[in-house]
């Protein structure tokens, strides 16, 4: 039986988007309560009854939280232009070595808008 396991993480951060057209509101410094959903796909293990311990996802996320939370994203290497698209790939690149079966990273900047990255 294959299952998709999803864990949500939250962080508060400031950013600005330096490449938007002149006059765009997102050129100005502002902040979001970001949400990141991490999805893992894999078989449910006979011995444990789970795909992976949620605690393993939390452990993999912890160093990213330390980098992102209450920080200015534009100052983080790789996030000089911190759109949701670039942030989702940035998260993927850092989680995928530790999380076999990682199949989707979803970043919500707001309640209405999200970006889904599946690693291509």
Residue 110 in contact with ligand LPXRUNBV, rule: CB under 6 A? yes
115 among known catalytic residues? no
Residue 106 in contact with ligand LPXRUNBV, rule: CB under 6 A? no
**Rounded Cα gap, residues 72 and 69, in angstroms:** 9
Residue 109 Cβ vs ligand LPXRUNBV, minimum distance, rounded to whole Å? 5
Region binding ligand LPXRUNBV by CB under 6 A among candidate stretches 5-13, 53-61, 96-104, 108-116: 108-116
* Binding to ligand LPXRUNBV in span 19-38, by CB under 6 A: 26, 30
Residue with tokens 């670039």: 86
Would you tell me the crossing angle of helices 54-68 and 84-95 to the nearest 10 degrees? 130
At residue 119, φ and ψ (nearest 5 deg) are: 85, 25
Q: Which is nearer to ligand LPXRUNBV, 54 or 110 (CB)?
A: 110
Q: Which is nearer to ligand LPXRUNBV, 81 or 96 (CB)?
A: 81
Residue 62 tokens read as 């912890």
Residue with tokens 């989702």: 88
**For ligand LPXRUNBV, how many residues bind (rule: CB under 6 A)?**
9
Residue 83 in contact with ligand LPXRUNBV, rule: CB under 6 A? yes
Residue with tokens 């999805």: 39
Q: Is there a contact between 85 and 116 (Cβ–Cβ < 8 Å)?
A: no
Q: Is 94 helix (H, G, I), strand (E, B) or coil?
A: helix
Q: Is 21 helix (H, G, I), strand (E, B) or coil?
A: coil
Footprint of ligand LPXRUNBV (CB under 6 A) = 17, 26, 30, 83-85, 109-110, 113
């Amino acid at each position: 039986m294959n299952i998709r396991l999803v864990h949500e993480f939250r962080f508060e951060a400031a950013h600005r988007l330096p490449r938007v057209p002149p006059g765009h509101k997102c050129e100005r410094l502002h902040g979001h309560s970001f949400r990141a959903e991490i999805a893992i796909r894999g078989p449910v293990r006979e011995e444990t009854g789970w795909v992976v311990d949620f605690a393993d996802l939390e452990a993999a996320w912890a160093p990213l939280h330390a980098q992102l939370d209450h920080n200015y994203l534009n100052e983080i290497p790789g996030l000089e232009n911190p759109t949701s698209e670039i942030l989702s790939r940035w998260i993927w690149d850092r989680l995928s070595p530790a999380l076999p079966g990682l199949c989707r990273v979803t970043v919500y900047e707001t309640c209405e808008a999200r970006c889904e990255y599946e690693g291509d």
